[in-house]
Structure 1
Amino acid sequence: MTSPAKFRKDKEIVAEYETQVKEVRAQLVEQLKCLDQQCELRVQLLQDLQDFFRKKAEIEVDYSRNLEKLAERFLTKTRSTKDHLLKKEHSILSPVNCWNLLLLQVKRESRDHATLSDLYLNNIIPRFAQISEDSGRLFKKSKEVGVQLQEDLMKVLNELYTVMKTYHMYNTDSINAESKLKDAEKQEEKQMGRSGRQQDDRQTPRSPDTLTSIKTDEKPVRRSSVKKIEKMKEKRQAKYTENKLKAIKARNEYLLALEATNSCVFKYYIHDLSDIIDCCDLGYHASLQRALRTYLSAEQNVETSKHSGLETLEGAAESLEANGDKQKLMETYNNVFCPPARFDFQSHMGDTMGVMCAQQPLEVELLQRCQQLQSRLSTLKIENEEVKKTMEATLSTIQDMVTVEDYDVSECFHHSNSMESVKSTFSESYLSKPSLAKRRANQQETEQFYFTKLKEFLEGRNLITKLEAKHDLIDKTLEESQKTDCCLSSGRRNSAVRKQESGEAIPLMVKSCIRFISRHGLQHEGIFRVSGSQVEVNDIKNAFERGEDPLAGDQNDHDMDSIAGVLKLYFRGLDHALFPKEVFHDLISCVSMESLHERAVHIKKVLQSLPSKTLIIMRYLFAFLNHLSQYSEENMMDPYNLAICFGPTLMSVPEGNDQVSCQAHVNELIKTIIIHHNTIFPGLQDLQGPIYTIPGSRDDCCDSPHCEPPLVEEPAPETVSVRQNSEDVTVALTV
């Protein structure tokens, strides 16, 4: 029977799983709240814009003075808002940036009151009202899709819970059956011992009458008891075999469901959330751009002397871009939109085998199931691709509808010198009731069809993700089962390679560039952000490839931005990024952790699996970047700015993931590593190799009193071979 301690352990496992699911559910609720806040901010912004232009149209007497008061009114409102989230949005989103620039431009305006009043009342304000209505409608539909996806996700988590409980139940039955079998074996051994003692008694000389009595009494009893015990043992052996097989199958089903659940969770956070935000923003930025361009056209035709101020606002309107705002939003709320840590296998009752079992008789069953999954996936992918093409074509149609270039109002000013009342014929043509009703009906019908296809596509992609996860796990299990000997041999070879790599030093190109920048460029403004001379970059790179060190000595006759470009070019030219794609998802999952210390510990744990040579280069590079960030007041490169420069170079986003949302997480990850490099990377005692250090001040090695040149702590000299740009260059380095 199951002991009380094991029962308590089982309850703890279930409680831990329920806690993790509870955290995910809370995160899902916060996501919807966050999207609700975005909609409210958007509606409020559009309402402010409508109020602004309505007030502006009423100003005809003492225009400049009243216009200044109007601008100050809204600027003060923006500065004095008590809503923390609203302040956050005001600092990052491109529509809000346009709004702020518009208010600054208002202070410089002097306009034709009649024409502008007509345009404000009959053109721009109705546009904002239309945008507000469209945004509310699209947000409502997007939220419905989001709620449905969240329900599907929770359904997957509940299915995982059911499968886990089934696995626990069958494993418990298997343990109980094993215990009963052992009891039967003990009884059999005990009975066999009695038989032996009876045999000894027979060998003892006895009288004929006594011997006859013993044989008569003991023989039937012994044979009946032995047969009974043997039958009981056979029965319990069969029961144990049956329960053990059920437990193994249940564990396999649990592992399959676990893999599918993790894939669905990652897909939801990386793909689905991004798609939902795109739907919320559908047409909003383009429509707002059209309204602002209408205003710009009117201003440019009134007075050409205002071009400098209007060009600034036009640049802000051009920068209205949904993907950019989506990235900023996800960076601001990275704890909400970052995928959680993967669900780990929860072993039960000491069952530490956390992988699928492909032994007979399960191998044939798994192979058949793998083939069935492959066949179904092929059909589903073809169907979902067709749905995707239809959805993309519909989306293109909607984008064409909201990007119509109808913001030019120059015709309204052809007779602006006339004393007659100016009436905008453009406003009439754009907002005429028959034309507007037809266009809006067509747009709404297209939107409805798009959301239908979007739901169908997301559901299909969800099913494909689940089936692919199961198929890949089964396929991997079958391959590993068939190639065990080959894997063992390969493991020995990889171990030898890792030992060899652990003795290699920092590549000469990396070491020399970092040394040069540390001596002469710590205070260079825009280092790694400003591009250098491509000719000089190529010359320095070619010199390194020939085995030379063009940066040796204390000469400072090289362009600092070119040296920085050479260092970035080295890492960008590697066959494989410094951070392998295999650890991408594990590293990205830490961004959701609020505690920076917890992030650093998680990153350290993930990076432990990398080769020693890679860790040595990482340790050296990030120590240098941390040192460089300490001079951010002079060079304008704090850890986040450096992360933006090095993130795409050091860690590429795997194909099939949303580049915008993933890149925001990558930048946050690189920033964390720069700040906490001492916690993440092992010291010299744990990892032998070059280490970037900052010694005492040495004025003869540095042009700046703040600059301290890096040194390399060296345990022993030896010659190593460094591969650069696919060519072997033997360089004598002190390691």
Structure 2
Amino acid sequence: MTSPAKFRKDKEIVAEYETQVKEIRAQLVEQLKCLDQQCELRVQLLQDLQDFFRKKAEIEVDYSRNLEKLAERFLTKTRSTKDHLLKKEHSILSPVNCWNLLLLQVKRESRDHATLSDLYLNNIIPRFAQISEDSGRLFKKSKEVGVQLQEDLMKVLNELYTVMKTYHMYNTDSMNAESKLKDAEKQEEKQMGRSGRQDDRQTPRSPDTLASIKADEKPVRRSSVKKIEKMKEKRQAKYTENKLKAIKARNEYLLALEATNSCVFKYYIHDLSDIIDCCDLGYHASLHRALRTYLSAEQNVETSKHSGLETLEAAAESLEANGDKQKMMETYNNVFCPPARFDFQSHMGDTMGVVCAQQPLESELLQRCQQLQSRLSTLKIENEEVKKTMEATLSTIQDMVTVEDYDVSECFHHSNSMESVKSTFSESYLSKPSLAKRRANQQETEQFYFTKLKEFLEGRNLITKLEAKHDLIDKTMGESQKTDCCLASGRRNSAVRKQESGEAIPLMVESCIRFISRHGLQHEGIFRVSGSQVEVNDIKNAFERGEDPLAGDQNDHDMDSIAGVLKLYFRGLDHALFPKEVFHDLISCVSMESLQERAVHIKKVLKSLPSKTLIIMRYLFSFLNHLSQYSEDNMMDPYNLAICFGPTLMSVPEGNDQVSCQAHVNELIKTIIIHHDTIFPGPKDLQGPQYIVPGSGEDFCDSPHCEPPLVEEPAPDTVSVIHNSEDVPAALIV
């Protein structure tokens, strides 16, 4: 029989097992609840993402519409300009170009944000909806698998409980059998001990008496011993049987215990992880794809915006007052060009059209000439001082208006907080007490500048008037009449011969190229820096009168003005040097990566042009190639020259994108400058004047009217003379 203590211990063991199983069962229930909660949170997150992008799509489309309305409002205003010619001519000015690019940038942003809204609605939101649907379906199936695994685990635990109970039962039987066996052994020992004691306590008796006693007691003792022995054998067999069953039960229990622990460990370590993986199957990857779609859309919008802003930035950097002045004067050449000279109108048949210097007027004219010379010397000194003061004042004004206060990057250094953004930088800038003082100083300086400008212009006008009188009297007095007459006659006769000869290279082109090749190959910014419009008009009018103002070895002309005359000639042609008929054929070569292939294609297209046009092209591009070889000094490589001559030599036909086509035109002109010798025929195939590098031992060109080249090269630091201070670019004033 088992003792009460052992019975209580067995009950405690069972109770402890049941408590552990109960805790496991509670864990399993909480696991499913946790997975349910994660699924709900995931669905809610995906729903929030859909709602967020749906609202963002509405904001983007509203923003797009507002931008479109804003752009159309001002574009319509621009289109409604009555004077279409004026509108077209003004569009070439750099501020108007910036304005147009700004409106185009707004329209670009409008389209981009409309595209963004469409992507949100028709791409990103459906992705999140699909992820939500897939996650719910996968979670449901994963939960079914998890429930099945939990049921299998509980079966294992129940089996362990059954095996443990069996082990306890057999072990109890074994212990009971062992107890009974021990009782039998005790009874046997007791029986055997009692027989021995009785023999020892008996007194000595006669043999006959002992024999009679033994005969009476012997059957009784043998029967009791046999009975005890039989009971002991039976209990021994029972004990052995129960002991074997207990051992087998214990073995089964230990095996089941090991298997159960392994199953529990596998479930918690591997199965749960696999179930969670099933719940997450494709979720993170799909979410990654959806978010990458959003990032791609936003990044493309930023790239598009950045591209437009770069174009606008380039236009802002190209804002240049002197260049716009040049464009305006070229556009309205008839308005700004000097009028014809006033001729002497004789009165009543007076045929004397020159100043009379005969006696007694000769001494009076000589005295007047000396007085004018003295007066001019004083005026020039005074006007030069006024000019220096005016230029210093202008420099001060430029410093005031070019202060670099446009960097607002500090406004975008936001913290991670969700507080509203406030532009403290702009407020602090506008609230500076010195702002009003700066404005007052600027206006006062401007007033002083215009006072000096007016004084300088009045002084220069007076000097011009007095110089004209002085030069005429001086000429009349015969001091320089012979030299001037010979020079003028030579230039006039040369121009007349040139025009009568019918040469393929116009006199204006040939003379300007000859002058630049002799004196301006190293002139920095040639063809890029604008010259004096007054001098450009003077030189142009001289050519139109049949003269050659650049003949001879004199180098007293502004190099930028000479370059301006050459560009003005090609810009003033009724038809551009490159006909519009071959525009698209020529532009198609830009897509070719090899410059040599481009050159072959260009040669094939230009082959159809008239020989006179090809001669002029060959002559011009040979000169430009020679000029580009001095790019380290003049800063004009083939691409920079192409930028200057591209719009002049090849106009973009209407109906094409001016910005993109102009870039292709510049690339085409650059290719022709580099490979001119491959593109244009040689002297054997195309007879006519050729450009020859000065100083190469040959004539400048094979035209009969070209002058021999100078022996000396111009110094690298040669500075062109600018006669009119009002034409000096602001960037050159110190």
Deviations 1:491-524 (A, max 9, x none): 9999999899989999999999999999999999
Quick one: distance in 1 between partners of 2:177 and 2:54?
Answer: 82
Offset of 1:102 from its aligned partner?
A: 1.0
TM-score by length of 2: 0.37
Structure 1 residues 83 and 121, CA, compared in 2 at 3 Å: closer, same or farther? farther
Quick one: distance in 1 between partners of 2:238 and 2:375?
Answer: 36
Quick one: distance in 1 between partners of 2:19 and 2:460?
Answer: 28
Structure 1 residues 688 and 390, CA, compared in 2 at 3 Å: closer, same or farther? same
Instruction: Say if 1:591 and 1:665, in contact at 8 Å, map to a contact too.
Output: yes
Quick one: distance in 2 between partners of 1:351 and 1:185?
Answer: 180
**Counterpart for residue 72 of structure 2:** 72
Instruction: Say if 2:61 and 2:117, in contact at 8 Å, map to a contact too.
Output: no
Offset of 1:70 from its aligned partner?
A: 1.8
Instruction: Say if 1:525 and 1:635, in contact at 8 Å, map to a contact too.
Output: yes
Offset of 1:451 from its aligned partner?
A: 0.8
**Counterpart for residue 85 of structure 1:** 85
Offset of 1:416 from its aligned partner?
A: 6.4
Quick one: distance in 2 between partners of 1:259 and 1:641?
Answer: 87
Matched, 1:651 2:650: yes
Q: Secondary structure at the match of 1:492?
A: helix
Comparing 546-555 with 338-347, greater Cα deviation is found at 546-555
Instruction: Say if 1:498 and 1:612, in contact at 8 Å, map to a contact too.
Output: no
Offset of 1:347 from its aligned partner?
A: 1.6
Instruction: Say if 1:118 and 1:423, in contact at 8 Å, map to a contact too.
Output: no
Offset of 1:418 from its aligned partner?
A: 3.5
Instruction: Say if 1:616 and 1:687, in contact at 8 Å, map to a contact too.
Output: yes
Offset of 1:91 from its aligned partner?
A: 2.0
Offset of 1:713 from its aligned partner?
A: 36
Quick one: distance in 2 between partners of 1:30 and 1:720?
Answer: 91
Instruction: Say if 2:619 and 2:689, in contact at 8 Å, map to a contact too.
Output: yes
Structure 1 residues 417 and 499, CA, compared in 2 at 3 Å: closer, same or farther? closer
**Counterpart for residue 302 of structure 1:** 301
Deviations 1:240-261 (A, max 9, x none): 9999999999999999999999
Q: Secondary structure at the match of 1:59?
A: helix
Instruction: Say if 1:719 and 1:731, in contact at 8 Å, map to a contact too.
Output: no
Deviations 1:156-191 (A, max 9, x none): 999999999999999999999999999999999999
Deviations 1:579-617 (A, max 9, x none): 999999999999999999999999999999999999999
1:97-116 → structure 2 map (5 Å cutoff): 97-109=97-109
Instruction: Say if 1:191 and 1:226, in contact at 8 Å, map to a contact too.
Output: yes
Q: Secondary structure at the match of 1:420?
A: coil
Structure 1 residues 472 and 313, CA, compared in 2 at 3 Å: closer, same or farther? same
Comparing 213-222 with 501-510, greater Cα deviation is found at 213-222
Q: Secondary structure at the match of 2:730?
A: strand
Structure 1 residues 98 and 341, CA, compared in 2 at 3 Å: closer, same or farther? same
Quick one: distance in 2 between partners of 1:312 and 1:268?
Answer: 63
Structure 1 residues 507 and 88, CA, compared in 2 at 3 Å: closer, same or farther? closer
**Counterpart for residue 407 of structure 2:** 408
Structure 1 residues 707 and 68, CA, compared in 2 at 3 Å: closer, same or farther? farther
Structure 1 residues 316 and 474, CA, compared in 2 at 3 Å: closer, same or farther? same
Quick one: distance in 2 between partners of 1:352 and 1:183?
Answer: 177
Instruction: Say if 1:640 and 1:668, in contact at 8 Å, map to a contact too.
Output: yes
Structure 1 residues 594 and 513, CA, compared in 2 at 3 Å: closer, same or farther? same
Offset of 1:107 from its aligned partner?
A: 3.1
Comparing 78-87 with 97-106, greater Cα deviation is found at 78-87
Deviations 1:600-656 (A, max 9, x none): 999999999999999999999999999999999999999999999899999999999
Q: Secondary structure at the match of 1:108?
A: helix
Quick one: distance in 2 between partners of 1:97 and 1:240?
Answer: 113
Q: How many residues align?
A: 734
**Counterpart for residue 532 of structure 2:** 533
Offset of 1:80 from its aligned partner?
A: 3.3
Quick one: distance in 2 between partners of 1:546 and 1:469?
Answer: 21
Deviations 1:306-328 (A, max 9, x none): 32221011011111111121122
Offset of 1:349 from its aligned partner?
A: 2.4
Comparing 355-364 with 595-604, greater Cα deviation is found at 595-604
Q: Considering only aligned residues, what root-mean-square deviation do their CA atoms show, in Å?
A: 48.6
Instruction: Say if 2:690 and 2:701, in contact at 8 Å, map to a contact too.
Output: no
Structure 1 residues 349 and 664, CA, compared in 2 at 3 Å: closer, same or farther? farther
Quick one: distance in 1 between partners of 2:665 and 2:172?
Answer: 43
Structure 1 residues 13 and 218, CA, compared in 2 at 3 Å: closer, same or farther? same
Listed as ranges, the gaps of 5+ residues in structure 1 are: none
Comparing 563-572 with 299-308, greater Cα deviation is found at 563-572
Comparing 186-195 with 503-512, greater Cα deviation is found at 186-195
Q: Secondary structure at the match of 1:144?
A: helix
Structure 1 residues 478 and 393, CA, compared in 2 at 3 Å: closer, same or farther? same
Instruction: Say if 1:528 and 1:565, in contact at 8 Å, map to a contact too.
Output: yes
Offset of 1:483 from its aligned partner?
A: 6.1
Quick one: distance in 2 between partners of 1:165 and 1:239?
Answer: 21
Offset of 1:420 from its aligned partner?
A: 1.4
Structure 1 residues 310 and 462, CA, compared in 2 at 3 Å: closer, same or farther? same
Structure 1 residues 346 and 420, CA, compared in 2 at 3 Å: closer, same or farther? same
Offset of 1:340 from its aligned partner?
A: 1.0
Comparing 170-179 with 339-348, greater Cα deviation is found at 170-179
Instruction: Say if 2:64 and 2:110, in contact at 8 Å, map to a contact too.
Output: yes
Deviations 1:188-225 (A, max 9, x none): 9999999999x999999999999999999999999999
Quick one: distance in 2 between partners of 1:355 and 1:193?
Answer: 183
Percent of paired sites with the same residue: 96
Quick one: distance in 1 between partners of 2:4 and 2:339?
Answer: 33
Structure 1 residues 406 and 639, CA, compared in 2 at 3 Å: closer, same or farther? closer
Comparing 98-107 with 654-663, greater Cα deviation is found at 654-663
**Counterpart for residue 141 of structure 1:** 141
Structure 1 residues 715 and 366, CA, compared in 2 at 3 Å: closer, same or farther? closer
Comparing 146-155 with 451-460, greater Cα deviation is found at 146-155
Structure 1 residues 722 and 336, CA, compared in 2 at 3 Å: closer, same or farther? closer
Instruction: Say if 1:95 and 1:285, in contact at 8 Å, map to a contact too.
Output: no
Structure 1 residues 444 and 720, CA, compared in 2 at 3 Å: closer, same or farther? closer
Quick one: distance in 2 between partners of 1:361 and 1:661?
Answer: 73
Bigger-Rg structure (1/2): 2
Structure 1 residues 502 and 4, CA, compared in 2 at 3 Å: closer, same or farther? farther
Instruction: Say if 2:174 and 2:246, in contact at 8 Å, map to a contact too.
Output: yes
Comparing 552-561 with 213-222, greater Cα deviation is found at 213-222
Listed as ranges, the gaps of 5+ residues in structure 2 are: none
Offset of 1:382 from its aligned partner?
A: 0.5
Structure 1 residues 529 and 603, CA, compared in 2 at 3 Å: closer, same or farther? same
Q: Secondary structure at the match of 2:728?
A: strand
Instruction: Say if 2:590 and 2:667, in contact at 8 Å, map to a contact too.
Output: yes
1:230-269 → structure 2 map (5 Å cutoff): none
The higher-RCO structure (CA 8 Å, 6+ apart) is: 1
Offset of 1:401 from its aligned partner?
A: 0.6
Instruction: Say if 1:58 and 1:117, in contact at 8 Å, map to a contact too.
Output: yes
